[in-house]
Amino acid sequence: MPLSHYITLGKSGLKVSPFCLGAMTFGQDWGAWGSTPEDSVAIIDRYLDSGGNFIDTANAYTRGHSEAILGDHLSKDKGKRRRTVLATKFFGCMEKGDPNAGGGGRKNIIWSCEESLRRLKTDYIDLYWLHCWDYHVPIEETLRAMDDLVGAGKVRYIGFSDVPAWKVTQAQMIANFRGWAPITALQIEYSLLERTVEGELMPMARELGIGVTPWSPLKGGALSGKYRRDNRGEIKPGRGPWVEGTLSQDKTYDVVDVLIAIAKEINSTPARVALNWVQRQPGVTSTIIGARTMSQLEDNLAALDIQLSEDQLKRLAEVSEPKLNFPHGFLKNSPRFRNPSVMVNGELADDNPVAPKPGEGW
């Protein structure tokens, strides 16, 4: 699958690349691990020149610098901006001491959108995300404010990020019944080390026609191949606590061991195998890749070129099998859930069509 093999996002008519370029590392305002503006621009152009068209950022990324870098560059070429599906988010507080300068309330949403438009140097945002669920604000208020932005032409599509499945479902039903802009996309963490989303979020998105764009498909770099069992504890991750907890768990290295073995079998890299696995999962539209350097971008993009066998997919599914909340384990093992018509000599057959395949969730 080439980067230019565009896929419609959810039930919308918006076509996006199978890999989305994440811009969280654009700018060094959060520390030296980020990319300089010059390196960021080079990465943007390499991605776009390779056929990619989907870039994701947020108002809070590197304190707004990420949006500014994108705006300064894309605004120089109207054709480039026109072809780019530009996504950004609201939620993070951008003004200390102001209780209304963050969250999902109408006052912040409208103000944040205007500020993002200013930094991005554009008059519209292709996909506007609620960055995180704000349980202090009625979801109707958040939805109506986002719908007003769509009606005003400042936003084309809306999406939710990091919101529980039951709240996304409630919001989508409200939007549908009231004729407001529907939730087109869902951004959630999904990787071989974070598969609990297969319990509720992934099947919910598939049922409601919402396109999924996974973030952190390499679990903050833990699945990049840089951290191995034989050098455990010797390499300090640049993102500190974000990754240190993952690297302290034995299961991480169980998964990494299999990734390394499969990468050797197909003459590839662990990162490419991990990214390829995520993009192949049912319901996934476009996986967000974060590249701080050009070499990381090149390696990530090459993940679209590899082919994993059924045996290799099975090994990855088994070593990363998640423990899901009730009732998923109960249903999986319950004869009452399985199709009674699929019997062989009075016993349930292994190819039961009701039970999902590994990686599909429940």
Please write the tens of the pLDDT for every residue from 252-287.
999 999 999 999 999 999 999 999 999 999 999 999
Q: Is the pLDDT of residue 358 over 50?
A: no
136-186 pLDDT, tens digit per residue, is: 999 999 999 999 999 999 999 999 999 999 999 999 999 999 999 999 999
Q: What is the pLDDT of residues 213-240, one digit of tens each?
A: 999 999 999 999 999 998 887 777 766 6
- The answer to whether residues 354 and 337 touch, using CB atoms and an 8 Å cutoff, is yes
Per-residue pLDDT at 337: 57
Angle value at C-alpha 153, between 150 and 159, nearest 5 degrees: 35
What is the share, in percent, of the chain residues with pLDDT greater than 70?
Answer: 91
Nearest 5°: CA angle at 129, between 296 and 59? 65
User: pLDDT band at 362, cuts 50/70/90?
Assistant: very low
pLDDT at 361: 45
- Residue 353 confidence (pLDDT) above 70: no
Lowest mean pLDDT among 53-67, 98-112, 321-335: 321-335
> Which whole number is the average pLDDT over 44-70?
97
Look at residue 335 in the predicted model and tell me its pLDDT: 65
pLDDT value for 343 = 45
Q: What is the average pLDDT across 336-343? A: 53
Average pLDDT along the chain? 92
pLDDT value at 354 more than 70: no
Domains (ranges, CATH) in the chain? 7-319 (3.20.20.100)
pLDDT at 332: 77
Residue 349 — pLDDT band, cuts 50, 70, 90? low
Q: How confident is the model at residue 30 (pLDDT cuts 50, 70, 90)?
A: confident
Q: Please identify every residue annotated as catalytic.
A: 61
Rounded to 5 degrees, φ, ψ at 186 are -130, 125
H helical segments located in the chain: 37-49, 65-74, 78-83, 106-120, 139-151, 165-178, 201-208, 241-247, 250-265, 270-279, 294-301, 310-319, 328-333
Six token digits for residue 134: 């704000």
Comparing 16-30, 100-114, 330-344, the range with the smallest average pLDDT is: 330-344
Query: Average pLDDT for residues 180-205, to the nearest whole number?
Result: 98
Contact in structure between 139 and 174 (CB atoms under 8 Å): yes
CA-to-CA distance for 91 and 87, rounded, in angstroms?
Answer: 14
Give tens-digit pLDDT for 81-99.
999 999 999 999 989 899 9
pLDDT of residue 333: 77
